[in-house]
Amino acid sequence: MSFWVTFGVCYAAYLLLVWTGGAVELSELVVGALVALLSARLSHRFFAEGSDMRMMSLSRWGTLLRYLFGPFARAMAEANIDVAKRVITGELRPGIVRISPGLRTELGRMLLANSITLTPGTLTVDVDEQTGDFFVHWIYVREEDPPVEQVCGHFPDWVRRIAE
């Protein structure tokens, strides 16, 4: 069931993107169906794991948008300034740290890993599938075993609201 719901969402999104206000040609409908089938095949397990349909909730998508344009955008801006300052002053202590964000779902782990990697000064190197621990290369390691908040702020809290 979740595959077909994902297909419907992908197909509707495609049609909204190509519709210009006039009639839609048959070739566009066929291409849209093929693109939606491929997209649904590749992504349905991330958006609707099992049968719980968690990412089909509009409130989760709203939370995702608030996260992306709020705390995530702010963290990216602050990290850009911090990295620029560290590069200019030479104040670097790079290293790899292990953090345990406590995320259970594959989608949550993926979202957090990408958020960490997109933030300048940090890079998710690996995720332990058994424990859910992240290995993060950090431009300035303050302590050997840092708390999660020191490495990635409140990202895990937001990811829990979105994906778990």
pLDDT tens-place string over residues 56-91: 778 888 999 999 999 999 999 999 999 999 999 999
- Report the SS3 class of residue 135: strand
Note the pTM of the prediction, 2 decimals: 0.72
Show me where the domains of the chain are located. 2-53, 57-163
Residue pair 107/160 in contact (Cβ under 8 Å)? The answer is no
Question: What is the predicted pLDDT for the residue at 158?
Answer: 95
Question: What is the predicted pLDDT for the residue at 101?
Answer: 94
Question: What is the predicted pLDDT for the residue at 144?
Answer: 86
Taking residues 93-103, what's their average pLDDT? 94
Phi, psi of 11 (to 5 degrees): -65, -45
pLDDT tens-place string over residues 130-154: 999 999 999 999 888 899 999 999 9
Neighbouring residues of 153: CB distance < 8 A, sequence distance ≥ 6: 71, 75
Question: What is the predicted pLDDT for the residue at 150?
Answer: 92
